[in-house]
Amino acid sequence: MSSQLSFSGISHRFGAQEVLTNISLEAPEGSCVALLGASGSGKSTLLRIAAGLERPSAGRVLMDGEDVSEVNAEKRETALVFQQPLLFPHLSVVDNVAFSSRMAGHSRAAAHRHACEYLELVQLAGYARRMPGQLSGGQEQRVALARALARQPRILLLDEPFSSLDLPLREDMYELLETIREQLRPTIVLVTHDRREASVLAESIAVLDHGEILQHGGVAQLHHQPASRAVNRILGGLNEVPGVVRGGAHHSPLGRVPVPADTAEGPALLVPRQESLCLTAVEGAQALGRVTQVRASGAHSLVRVALDRGPEQDQEQAAVAVEVTGSPELRPGDITGVALQNPSGWTVTR
Amino acid sequence: MLTAAPAVILVLLVLGAALIMVGLQSLGLMPVFGEPQLSLNAWADSTSLLESAGVSVYIATLSTVLSAGLGLLIAVYALTAGRGGRLVAAVSAATIPIPHLVASGAIGLLLADAGFLARLFGMPEGFPQLVATQWWTAVILEFAWKESAFVALVILGSISRSAMALSETASTLGASAWQRFCHVILPLARLPLVVSGLVVFVYTLGSYESPWLLGPLAPEPLSVRAVRLFGSTQLSARPEAMATALTSVVIAVLAIAVGLLLVRRSGDRS
Amino acid sequence: MSLSRSEVSRRRRPRWRVRTVLPLLLGLALLIWIMLPLVPVLLWSAAGAWRAPDVLPSSWTADAALSLAEPEVLMAGVRSLGLGLSVAVTATVLGGLAAFGLRGPTPGGSPASTRLIGFVMLTPLAVPPFALVMGSNVLLLGARAPSFLGVLIVLTVTALPYTTYMFVTALASYEDRFEAVARTLGASPAQVVLKVRLGLLMPAIARAGFLAFLVGWSDYITTVLIGGGQFITLPLLLGSAASSTGGEQLTAALSLAMIVPPVVLLILLARRGARGRTSS
């Protein structure tokens, strides 16, 4: 049932304001693509365009290569789940899930039978006769998911579907989505502002900012090889160490760090993730610095270190954040060594 | 926009035409019989017209003040008194569908000389006359009985969601029950109170049944005077009825203008 | 130790009493205020003989209740019901359409014209009903409209501000994304209107319809002036009973006949509303 979805040169404006600029993006059949961005980045608008609820000002939406830009939402065979469950309050749970079958003209009994399969899938078969008001938030969102899946959509569109749930419930929903993917293999486009959710659920992430796609790539690639400072920040990277690329290596207060051979020479920022840095002993350290802050967050601690200037005179003052397991025996003012865990690094210039 | 057309056209047509007719007839330009002739005769008996206007405004003002006070009391009690409060709110809301005509009949049975209330007290010598008095006591009480339930419903509808949480917050900040009433509930209730008070004033100003059944024969409020003149067989009565009706429209519009000013001011403050 | 505790409790007891007794008294006073006028109606409706100083009737009879079953009273009841339902249908439909027209950005509608229309829909509130009736009477006579139609038109105008306002508030909190979801689930535009919009607005439709029904059901002055005494409804019978002396029993019985239907309707609506929210 699932299809490939692609956006080709989509632009969209509300009045004078351009909210999407020349978006091209592909979601392969059976994959899960996350659109990651802050609120106002245009990601929900892109999803509404995919669902056919909004006509783009320019560009085309393709399903399996076929242009569906002119196809209305009710004919498009996509299903959309919002952050709010939006269960029809005047219909029971099973009537909500049976809604698409009823719209397609099936009998009440057949629609209910069909709906019950999907209620079973989301483990709410016993709640069929209840009214939406009698469910908890997590249950309502499960019903909303079942209602969307019962449409048997070629593309499943999820707009921040788990954002209003608390953390343990969200983990349950991740499990459920995993099960659904195994059983039904739908193509999923997920809109989220939560980089962790995007990383857990999707194979690839498209980073959206001010209506433009900054980078689209695999989860690891986006975390460790961001295309720009903005992508690094949106994915939670805290470090931007200024320096110069020369002779296949980046030179900075962190020392000489090898970079990929095709990296252009000149000034560049080294962007090691806080998770891939470590603290070392002072003797023989690659770089030295003074601890400015230690902040505990659960099983990890974030240590901020103001790096000493390196041997080269023109180097700027730099600071890095290092994530360590447990709580280190360090206080602000202590001197520590800092090193990269990987042999090579990644730089950005923008 | 287009879907509003039937309703808007109906209102404009009926209301506009009615007001024009009232105006023309009050000036003698559309007599029932005879030639149209511009005349201010209908407005000539200004003492009687002004007296009627005074009676109407007196009844409407006292009824509004009483309804607003009692309605606020019912609403506050409903919000703060737990189960008893919910009972009072439910019983009060259940009286809303009772027509004013029925309420006037009921108040008559209750307050008349030798009515139920007098009998409850054993019909003492000095029991005050309440129906058909020069002070319009029974009329005002009927309006206050019906409209206080309306005022309470409007206040509860607009503040019951926010009032309890904000009131509890205020109590954690050290506000006493009285302070919570003055500084939380009252400011929240001001706007619905003014709006519902305005509706009550305009309604009681134009209401006919209660003053007709429970008021004295003279002086008449505008509604009773207009209806009596309208039904009269005298030729001169029709323009006078229309002049009376127009007077009530003018007073209602003035009251609404003043009320909207109050609404805007209390809107600015909150 | 034990002495001081009893002292404390002795000091606290009067305060405890004031704090619980005062609200109780206030609640009781409010309940009496709300219920008292209905007591003589109930008593008179079943009273046989009830002479002046007696607090309760000395004999009981079903005569007044039976008089409600007379053909002219029954016919008046049918006319009142018909009038109430007719006003409910026309004012609810027109008010709902008007509220949709007043709603948010529509092609060709500026905020100023939307405000103007909203203002026009509220103007009937400013005109006392008797003035509206007197003005429109000449026109309705001129147009030779049947008196039922005339009464219906005037009462629809009277009820429109209430129904329109009900729908405007309901639409203000209306969630458009319900319709978006329905469309992505394959509902055609007509199905969206019938299955989603009507379903979601059903509480507002019920409230607006109830208010408009009350306008028709309880009207006195419009029916008297336009109907010219030919179109007899329950309020007209009640009006003549209440204004004549010695008609207490009939007044009380007719009053009950006018109170019971709308109150039953209100309870039904409230129960339906509660069921919609909590169970199937």
- Write the pLDDT tens digit of every residue in A133-171: 889 988 999 999 999 999 888 999 999 999 888 888 889
Tell me if C251 and B252 make a contact (CB, 8 A cut-off): no
B33: in domain? no
Q: What angle do CA B223, B226, B227 make, to 5 degrees?
A: 85
Q: Which of B14, B97, B249 shows the shortest C-beta gap to C157?
A: B14
Q: Which residues pair with A320 in a beta bridge?
A: A305
Rg (CA), chain A: 24
Distance from C-alpha of A41 to C-alpha of B70, rounded to nearest angstrom: 53
Q: Which residues 142-171 in chain A show a CB within 8 A of chain C?
A: 147-148, 151, 153, 157
Q: Which of A90, A100, A151 shows the shortest C-beta gap to C276?
A: A90
CATH number of C104's domain: 1.10.3720.10
- Give one word for A293, left, alpha or beta, with left for phi > 0 and alpha for psi -120 to 50: beta
> How many other CB atoms are found less than 10 A from the CB of residue C103?
18
Q: Is the pLDDT of residue B269 over 60?
A: no
B147: in domain? yes
Q: If pLDDT is split at 50, 70 and 90, which confidence band does C1 have?
A: very low
Of A336, C31, C173, C128, nearest to B203 by C-alpha is C128
What confidence score (pLDDT) does residue B142 get? 97
Q: State the alpha helices, DSSP H only, in A151-294.
A: 167-184, 195-201, 219-224, 229-234
Asked if C touches A (at least 3 Cβ pairs < 8 angstroms), the answer reads yes
B16: in domain? no
Q: Which of A80, A88, A134 shows the shortest C-beta gap to C184?
A: A80
B30: in domain? no
Average pLDDT over residues B241-262: 92
Rg (CA), chain B: 22
Distance from C-alpha of A89 to C-alpha of C235, rounded to nearest angstrom: 39
CA dist list (Å): C241 to B105, B117, C27, C250, C251: 9, 21, 34, 6, 5
pLDDT per residue as tens digits for the range C144-189 = 778 899 999 999 999 999 999 889 888 888 888 899 999 999 999 9
- Residue partners of A63: CB distance under 8 A and separation at least 6: A3, A4, A5, A76, A77, A154, A155
Distance from C-alpha of B23 to C-alpha of B31, rounded to nearest angstrom: 12
Q: Is the pLDDT of residue B268 over 80?
A: no
Q: If pLDDT is split at 50, 70 and 90, which confidence band does C278 have?
A: very low
Interface test with C, best of B9, B98, B140, B176 (most C CBs within 10 A): B98
Interface test with C, best of A71, A80, A87 (most C CBs within 10 A): A80
Q: Is the pLDDT of residue B270 over 70?
A: no
Average pLDDT over residues C74-103: 93
Write out the H or E segment, with its range, that includes residue C278: helix C248-278
CA dist list (Å): C45 to B19, B110, C80, C241: 42, 13, 21, 13
> Is A202 buried (19+), middle (13-18) or exposed (0-12) by CB count in 10 A?
buried
B28: in domain? no
What confidence score (pLDDT) does residue C259 get? 93
- Do A234 and A36 touch, CB atoms closer than 8 A? yes
> How many other CB atoms are found less than 10 A from the CB of residue C54?
12
Q: How many Å separate Cα A40 from the centre of its chain?
A: 15
Query: Does the CB of A133 have a partner CB in chain C at under 8 Å?
Result: yes
Q: Which of A104, A129, A157 shows the shortest C-beta gap to C186?
A: A104
**Total domain count, chain B:** 1
Residues spanned by the domain of C120 = 72-279
The two tokens of residue A202 are: 């999707």
What confidence score (pLDDT) does residue A89 get? 85
Q: Name the strands in the sheet holding A318-325, side by side, starting at the edge strand that comes first in the sequence.
A: A277-280, A335-340, A287-297, A300-307, A318-325
Residue C63 or A194, more confident: A194
Tell me if A130 and C279 make a contact (CB, 8 A cut-off): yes
- Do A43 and A99 touch, CB atoms closer than 8 A? no
C114: in domain? yes
CATH number of B240's domain: 1.10.3720.10
Taking chain C, what is the end-to-end CA distance rounded to the nearest angstrom?
59
| SS3 (DSSP) at A103 | helix
Contacts of B98 in chain C (CB under 8 A): 258-259, 262-263
Tell me if C280 and A92 make a contact (CB, 8 A cut-off): yes
Tell me if C53 and B5 make a contact (CB, 8 A cut-off): no
**Total domain count, chain C:** 1
Query: Does the CB of C238 have a partner CB in chain B at under 8 Å?
Result: yes
SS3 content of chain A, % helix, strand, coil (to 5): 25, 35, 40
Asked if B touches C (at least 3 Cβ pairs < 8 angstroms), the answer reads yes
pLDDT per residue as tens digits for the range A321-342 = 999 888 788 888 888 888 888 8
Residue C110 or A102, more confident: A102
Pair type for strands A318-325 and A300-307? antiparallel
Tell me if C279 and A88 make a contact (CB, 8 A cut-off): no
To the nearest whole Å, the CA of B269 is away from the closest chain C CA by 23
C117: in domain? yes
Distance from C-alpha of B267 to C-alpha of C247, rounded to nearest angstrom: 49
Q: Indicate if the alpha-carbon torsion angle A78, A83, A85, A89 is positive or negative.
A: negative
Q: Is the pLDDT of residue C2 over 50?
A: no
C31: in domain? no
Percent of chain B residues topping a pLDDT of 90: 52
Contacts of C174 in chain A (CB under 8 A): none
Tell me if B7 and C97 make a contact (CB, 8 A cut-off): yes
Q: Is the pLDDT of residue A207 over 70?
A: yes
The two tokens of residue C177 are: 């994304």
Q: What angle do CA B102, C266, B107 make, to 5 degrees?
A: 20
Q: Name the strands in the sheet holding A347-348, side by side, starting at the edge strand that comes first in the sequence.
A: A255-258, A249-252, A241-246, A266-270, A347-348
Interface test with A, best of C174, C175, C178, C185 (most A CBs within 10 A): C185
B52: in domain? yes
CB contacts < 8 A, B to C, total 246
Q: Which of A51, A84, A102 shows the shortest C-beta gap to C184?
A: A51
Q: How many CA atoms lie within 13 A of C38 on its CB side?
A: 17
pLDDT per residue as tens digits for the range C95-128 = 999 998 887 554 455 677 788 888 888 899 889 9
Q: Which of B92, B99, B119 shows the shortest C-beta gap to C55?
A: B119
Task: Look over chain A and give the mean of its residue pLDDT values, rounded to a whole number.
Answer: 89
Q: Which of C33, C134, C154 shows the shortest C-beta gap to B226?
A: C134
Tell me if C185 and A151 make a contact (CB, 8 A cut-off): yes
The two tokens of residue B48 are: 């009687």
Q: Which residues 111-130 in chain A show a CB within 8 A of chain C?
A: 129-130
Average pLDDT over residues A46-68: 91
Residue C109 or B260, more confident: B260
Percent of chain A residues topping a pLDDT of 70: 98
Tell me if B98 and C34 make a contact (CB, 8 A cut-off): no
Contacts of A100 in chain C (CB under 8 A): 185-187
Residues spanned by the domain of B160 = 39-269
Chains in contact with chain B (at least 3 beta-carbon pairs closer than 8 A): C
pLDDT per residue as tens digits for the range B12-55 = 999 999 999 999 988 888 776 677 777 777 787 778 899 999 99
Q: What is the DSSP letter of A160?
A: S
C127: in domain? yes
Is the complex ipTM more than 0.95?
no
**Amino acid letter at A330?**
L
Q: If pLDDT is split at 50, 70 and 90, which confidence band does B267 have?
A: low
Query: Does the CB of B227 have a partner CB in chain C at under 8 Å?
Result: yes
pLDDT per residue as tens digits for the range B83-103 = 889 999 999 998 999 999 999
